[in-house]
């Protein structure tokens, strides 16, 4: 083998590893030195390196709060045992309530930070869904679980929005294990469908009283370098068939080709759905409009809900570093990364987009927002 050929191989290897470091740093929020360390320790396997990073840095994020909850629960239990007036049934009920919150019944205290602007947004779109409402309500949100700063406070912020809007379906991206365990303890009125159980991943929350899960599947993207996949949950909503889908498509401007490959998979799955099924996709697509055009545009019968509702300017930018200060960047970036697609059933009742508003636009007590993305709340008439 010639020296020039060896030099070329070495150069290609260096370029590949440099790209891996850049991707690791972007996903983990670390720097290139940290990225190189974790990748080298894991034989340059991106998934193993990221899992190792998450395990080392994020498992303890909610430990302080969990310890405080355990202490409060123990204190409550001792008080109940010392109170002769309590019956055993009452003691059990109180103990359960000390450890979980049904978001359809109780509103976490931090929701008081949501001002009249966001409360008004709920009333503008109709009352939050309850068991007598035929509207389907949805939230889609990249919650930025990869950012460990004020993570517990920001997770409480998400719970406040769930309590305020009581959505039937919640599409979540950038979850980590400790974050979703936190949600499961509080959102006991929801069933969780998860895209993974380690690293970082997506998830779907289904309101148990209104949405019934039939089955779900996780579809891998064969060439992803960022652990991305597609969740498909087959459900019924008040007796009507729905396929609910969420994904976090490949990030970064230079991953356009991979992102479009993944979008084609999403569109193919939408096209394959039976005629009597409505398909609803929500997620962080990282898309630029030109990329949608390059894959041939939206499939027949599929609408972009924001466009369908008139391209309202106040709902355009879900990633907006001009308004959202969670990320410190040397430039202003305003993009419509988070999108919702709808394909109504060709036979039977139709789902009609009714209302859309961005959520998470109020700062929490910790002076940060719930996420670096705004969430999308929308409703559909049936």
Q: Which are the catalytic amino acids?
A: 284
HSE, side-chain direction, 13 A CA sphere, residue 330? 0
What is the spatial distance between Cα 67 and Cα 74, in angstroms, rounded to a whole number? 11
Residue 335 region by backbone torsions, left for phi larger than 0, else alpha for psi between -120 and 50, else beta: beta
Instruction: Extract the tokens encoding 330.
Output: 């040397």
Mention every residue, 6+ apart, whose C-beta is less than 8 A from residue 135. Answer: 126, 129, 354, 379, 380, 381, 382
Q: What is the DSSP string of 253-267?
A: GGGHHHHHHHHHHHH
Phi and psi at 256, nearest 5°, equal -60, -45
Helix (H, G, I), strand (E, B), or coil: what is residue 335? strand
What is the spatial distance between Cα 39 and Cα 41, in angstroms, rounded to a whole number? 5
Helix (H, G, I), strand (E, B), or coil: what is residue 232? strand
What is the spatial distance between Cα 228 and Cα 254, in angstroms, rounded to a whole number? 16
- Is 131 exposed, middle or buried, given 0-12, 13-18 or 19+ CB atoms closer than 10 A? exposed
- Say which residue the tokens 């899960």 belong to: 213
Residue 335 bridge partners (DSSP): 319
- Is 159 exposed, middle or buried, given 0-12, 13-18 or 19+ CB atoms closer than 10 A? buried
């Amino acid at each position: 083998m010639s020296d020039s050929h060896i030099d070329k191989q070495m150069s290609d290897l260096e370029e590949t590893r440099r790209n891996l470091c850049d991707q690791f740093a972007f996903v983990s929020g670390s720097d290139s030195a940290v990225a190189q360390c974790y990748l080298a320790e894991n034989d340059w396997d991106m998934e193993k390196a990221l899992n190792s990073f998450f395990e080392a840095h994020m498992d303890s994020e909610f430990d302080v709060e969990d310890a405080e909850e355990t202490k409060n629960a123990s204190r409550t239990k001792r008080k109940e045992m010392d109170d002769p007036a309590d019956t055993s049934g009452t003691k059990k009920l109180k103990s359960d309530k000390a450890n979980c919150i049904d978001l359809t019944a109780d509103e976490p205290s931090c929701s008081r930070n949501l001002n009249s602007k966001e409360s008004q947004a709920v009333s503008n779109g109709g009352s939050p869904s309850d068991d007598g409402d035929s509207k389907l309500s949805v939230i889609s949100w990249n919650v930025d679980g990869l950012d460990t700063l004020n993570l517990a406070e920001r997770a409480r912020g998400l719970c406040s929005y769930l309590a305020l809007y009581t959505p039937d379906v919640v599409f979540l991206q950038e979850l980590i294990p400790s974050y979703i365990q936190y949600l499961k303890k509080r959102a006991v009125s929801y069933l969780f469908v998860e895209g993974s159980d380690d690293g970082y991943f997506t998830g779907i929350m289904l309101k148990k009283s209104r949405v019934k899960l039939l089955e779900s599947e996780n579809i891998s993207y064969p060439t992803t370098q960022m652990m991305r996949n597609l969740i498909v949950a087959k459900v019924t909503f008040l007796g009507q068939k729905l396929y609910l889908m969420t994904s976090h498509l490949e990030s970064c401007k230079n991953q356009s080709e991979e992102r479009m490959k993944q979008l084609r998979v999403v569109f193919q799955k939408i096209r394959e759905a039976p005629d009597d099924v409505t398909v609803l996709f929500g997620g962080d697509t990282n898309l630029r409009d030109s990329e949608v055009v390059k894959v041939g545009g939206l499939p027949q019968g599929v609408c972009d809900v924001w466009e369908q509702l008139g391209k309202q300017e106040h709902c355009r930018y879900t990633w907006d570093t001009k308004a959202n200060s969670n990320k410190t960047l040397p430039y202003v970036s305003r993009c419509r990364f988070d999108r919702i697609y709808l394909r109504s059933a060709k036979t039977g009742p139709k789902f009609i987009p009714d209302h859309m508003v961005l959520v998470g636009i109020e700062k929490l007590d910790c002076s940060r927002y719930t996420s670096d993305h705004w969430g999308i709340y929308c409703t559909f008439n049936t």
